[in-house]
Amino acid sequence: MPHEDVLAAAPIFSQVSRKDLSHLGRAVVERKFKKGETIVSQGEQAVAFFMLTKGRVAVVKGDGLRLSDKLNEIGAGGFFGEMALLDGAPRAASIKALEDTECLVLSRWDFVAELKTNATMAVAMLSVLTRRLRDLDARLGERD
């Protein structure tokens, strides 16, 4: 599957044109992780966005050794680290491979470089991010 097809499946890129996704797809790197391997660690600087093409990972707090540390599971077709593309803030959780896993990885540096030269892509992504913020705001308002 072409890299742009995988990128297109991520909500953050849902409004980006096929041409722009194709260009961005050239910056994507394929990575493999063994079962049990930590892919990213909580607290480390976030520098990349990951799209799973094979395997399964666990999203865990801390070292993930306790059953209660597990927050979520993500399988093939899923993704994590999309906010890292924008802010590079420390990781809020660790990601561990539950089985042999393959990912496409887009670095923050490559992504930001593309945004600096492609305002059309930036504007397309802003509408998606704004919609996500509005949805979150509405859900939080419902809790009051």
In order of their start, the domains of the chain are: 3-109+118-143 (2.60.120.10)
Q: Name the nearest CA neighbour of 45 among 83, 84, 82.
A: 84
Local confidence pLDDT in tens for the 144 residues of the chain: 678 888 888 888 888 999 999 988 899 999 999 999 999 999 998 899 999 999 999 999 876 566 567 888 999 988 888 877 788 788 888 999 999 999 999 999 998 888 888 888 888 888 887 877 787 778 777 766
> Which residue carries 């980006």 as its tokens?
16
Under a CB-based contact definition with an 8 Å cutoff, are residues 131 and 124 in contact? no
